[in-house]
């Protein structure tokens, strides 16, 4: 064997020995240290998980406690709502009978003394009748709200002539308009329109909107009522030149017991339920109700829209010229005395 071969063999042996030594050192020290580091990290990670689990368990217990409190609060709130609804129903129902008796006896007394319209007794009897009429309207609102909250507020949809209904309402509201000096205008529609809906409830909505417009309009003001039909939907609008509404109040005006505070000179009357009931009636017919007002001092336009007929029912027959609103052919009522304005409800 030559010297070169011996040197090569010796070099290979040394290299192999160094490799084995390096492997042994790495396994003995580096890998062992890495293993300890990994075990330590794993232990810390497990401790963190255990801590987070304990914190999560505490949060879950707290959340469960809050849910239980909320459930009990909801039960108590439902119980109080039931008591309130029953109370409202009892009050509205039981007070109507004595009010009817007061009205009856007052009418008898007025018939017994037909002459002397200007005397104090006759004036007092007239005031009693007006007060009982107002009380009856308040009781009717309470009855309606009670029926709405108990789910007994049902609509009786029957076909009727909407033009005739509006004429009837305008005739009744004309007296209030004349007393306050309001020009009540009805824009005639060129065709007779048949609507399948609850005639009494729709008249209740129209009376409320026109009545509120009259209450809020100043002496010598103008209230305009109009309607039109388009694409199977009837739209009714009442415009006035009263105090108007703030933009932020438009979302509250149809809430129960809400009354406008825009004009503090207005005398608060009623429960503030009229518009809330009107909204329930319109919604029950599958329609919408709303208000448009440019701002304070610029009047308001209250409107609602309902289908001419319920979905799936046979189409109603209307007179020709349907779908285009008529030119303003208004019926104006002259100004007279000026009573104290009232609150919108």
- Give yes or no: residues 91 and 204 share one domain: no
pLDDT at site 247: 72
Residue 83: inside a domain: yes
Final residue belonging to a domain, choices 129, 153, 177? 153
pLDDT at site 262: 54
3 state SS for the chain: CCHHHHHHHHHHHHHHHHHHHHHHHHHHHHHHHHHHHHHHHHHHHHHHHHHHHHHHHHHHHHHHHHHHHHHHHHHHHHHHHHHHHHHHHHHHHHHHHHHHHHHHHHHHHHHHCCCCCCCHHHHHHHHHHHHHHHHHHHHHHHHHHHHHHHCCCCCCCEEEEHHHHHHHHHHHHHHHHHHHCCEEEECCCCCCCEEEECHHHHHHHHHHHHHHHHHHCCCCCEEEEEEEEECCEEEEEEEECCCCCCHHHCCCCCCCCCCCCCCCCCECCCCCCHHHHHHHHHHHCCCEEEEECCCCCCCEEEEEEEECCCCCCCCCCCCCCCCCCCCCCCCCCCCCCCCCCECCC
Q: Kindly indicate the confidence band of residue 343, based on its pLDDT and cuts at 50, 70 and 90.
A: very low
Residue 335: inside a domain: no
Domains of the chain: total:
2
Of 264 and 306, the one with more pLDDT: 306
pLDDT at site 119: 65
pLDDT at site 331: 40
pLDDT of 239 > 90? The answer is yes
313-317 average pLDDT score: 62
- The whole domain housing 223 covers 158-307
- Give yes or no: residues 209 and 107 share one domain: no
Q: Kindly indicate the confidence band of residue 340, based on its pLDDT and cuts at 50, 70 and 90.
A: very low
pLDDT at site 336: 36
Q: What is the pLDDT of residues 205-233, one digit of tens each?
A: 999 999 989 988 888 889 999 999 999 99
Final residue belonging to a domain, choices 104, 126, 153? 153
pLDDT at site 167: 92
- Give yes or no: residues 191 and 142 share one domain: no
- Give yes or no: residues 129 and 270 share one domain: no
Q: What is the pLDDT of residues 136-179, one digit of tens each?
A: 666 777 777 767 776 777 888 899 999 999 999 998 888 888 88
Residue 226: inside a domain: yes
Q: What is the pLDDT of residues 6-65, one digit of tens each?
A: 777 777 787 778 787 777 777 677 777 778 888 888 888 888 898 888 889 889 989 998
- Give yes or no: residues 125 and 29 share one domain: yes
- Give yes or no: residues 131 and 170 share one domain: no
- Give yes or no: residues 140 and 169 share one domain: no
Q: What is the pLDDT of residues 243-286, one digit of tens each?
A: 878 776 767 788 777 666 555 445 455 557 888 889 999 999 99
Residue 243: inside a domain: yes
């Amino acid at each position: 064997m030559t010297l070169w071969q011996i040197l090569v063999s010796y070099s290979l042996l040394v290299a192999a020995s160094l490799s084995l030594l390096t492997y042994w050192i790495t396994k003995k020290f580096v890998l062992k240290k890495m293993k300890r580091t990994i075990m330590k990290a794993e232990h810390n990670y497990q401790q963190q998980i255990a801590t987070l689990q304990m914190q999560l368990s505490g949060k879950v217990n707290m959340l469960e406690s809050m849910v239980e409190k909320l459930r009990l609060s909801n039960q108590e709130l439902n119980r109080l709502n039931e008591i309130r609804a029953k109370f409202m129903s009892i009050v509205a129902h039981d007070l109507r009978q004595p009010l009817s008796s007061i009205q009856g006896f007052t009418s008898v007394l007025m018939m017994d003394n037909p002459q002397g319209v200007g005397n104090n007794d006759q004036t007092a009897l007239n005031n009693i009748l007006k007060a009982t009429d107002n009380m009856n309207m308040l009781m009717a609102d309470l009855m309606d709200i009670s029926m709405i909250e108990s789910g007994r507020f049902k609509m009786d949809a029957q076909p009727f002539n909407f033009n005739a209904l509006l004429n009837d309402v305008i005739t009744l509201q004309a007296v209030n308009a004349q007393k306050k000096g309001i020009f009540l205008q009805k824009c005639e529609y060129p065709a007779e329109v048949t609507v399948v809906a609850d005639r009494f409830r729709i008249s209740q909505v129209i009376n409320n909107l026109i009545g509120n417009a009259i209450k809020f309009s100043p002496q010598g003001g103008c209230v305009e009522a109009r309607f039109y039909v388009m694409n199977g939907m009837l739209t009714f609008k009442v415009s006035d030149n009263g105090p108007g509404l703030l933009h932020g109040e438009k979302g509250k005006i149809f809430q129960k017991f809400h009354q406008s505070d825009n004009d503090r000179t207005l005398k608060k009357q009623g429960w503030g339920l009229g518009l809330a009931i009107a909204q329930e009636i319109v919604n029950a017919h599958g329609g919408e109700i709303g208000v448009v007002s440019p701002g304070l001092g610029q009047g308001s336009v209250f409107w609602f829209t309902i289908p001419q007929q319920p979905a799936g029912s046979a189409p109603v027959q209307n007179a020709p010229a349907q779908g285009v609103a008529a030119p303003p052919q208004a019926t104006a009522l002259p100004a007279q005395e000026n009573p104290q304005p009232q609150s919108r409800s």
